[in-house]
Amino acid sequence: MLSTFKADFQIVFERDPAARNWVEVLLCYPGLHALWLHRFAHWLYVLGLPLIPRLISHLSRLLTGIEIHPGAQIGEGVFIDHGMGVVIGETAVVGSYSLIYQGVTLGGTGKESGKRHPTLGENVVVGAGAKVLGNLLIGNNVRIGAGSVVLRDVPSDCTVVGVPGRIVYRSGERVEPLEHGRLPDSEAQVIRALVDRIEQLEQQMQQLKAQPAPMERRVMAAAGLSTSSRVDGSESLLPQSHRHCDLNNKIIEEFLDGSGI
């Protein structure tokens, strides 16, 4: 038990660059407080003591904003950073040296009995606001992006992003646990591909409109009209910036290159 408490304490300095000294960590880190209170409550829960483990869990929630059911199994060296709004269910299992951010839910999907909460392997990183729901198996070294909703099992050494969560493999490249800005954004890639495709189609459509039909050419020649004007008076050869979606437009670029997009 003492070695586990020591690992919980030491991991704070490795995972949080804001941790400056041991006094500050002991007094000002609710994630550490919630974890230590949970370990005591879990010990009483395993002994079969009624009510008191749940009461300790409830008091811990009031003090830290982190709700961990006393039945949950949490390995050593787990770090709950900030932690406000974290919920860990009764049958959840969290592997050693995992990193959990605020707003994370390791929950169930209904009123089923038995194992109904996820099992996380070792060195798993769960980003802020992510939800892992159901009796899922999350492998070792998995990274779950902020705001993702995971509803399926995830193999080891994968990155999951999106709603619902999609697996993105990052083979051959090591990504540091705190570098959330390097998470791939599959939704942004799809949106950009669709915009590019729409632009190509609009260019092709405008090129077809710019070529008068043979009969129209004769009519326009007889009327003394140039090919830049249609019979109905509308312009067919519009400036390039007006014929299709301009990706250099400031508003579009800010959207495509902005927060997460």
pLDDT digits (tens, 9 = 90+) for 99-130: 999 999 999 887 778 889 999 999 999 999 99
For 28-53, the pLDDT digits (tens) are 899 999 999 999 999 999 999 889 99
User: Are β-strands 67-68 and 87-88 bridged in parallel, bridged antiparallel, or unpaired?
Assistant: parallel
User: Are β-strands 137-138 and 119-120 bridged in parallel, bridged antiparallel, or unpaired?
Assistant: parallel
Please tell me which residue, 156 or 251, carries the higher pLDDT value: 156
Query: Which CATH superfamily, name and number, covers 2-182?
Result: Hexapeptide repeat proteins (2.160.10.10)
Tell me the pLDDT of the chain averaged across its residues.
Answer: 79
Specify the pLDDT at position 84: 92
In the chain, where are the structural domains located?
2-182, 186-256
Specify the pLDDT at position 126: 93
Longest dimension (CA), the chain: 100
For 184-226, the pLDDT digits (tens) are 666 666 677 778 878 888 888 888 887 766 666 666 666 665 5
d(CA 72, CA 152): 20
Half-sphere exposure of 3 (CA within 13 A, CB side): 2
d(CA 200, CA 12): 51
Please tell me which residue, 1 or 13, carries the higher pLDDT value: 13
Specify the pLDDT at position 211: 76
Specify the pLDDT at position 138: 93
Least trusted range by pLDDT, from 59-68, 209-218, 249-258: 249-258
Which pair of tokens denotes residue 35? 């974890």
- What pTM did the predictor assign? 0.66
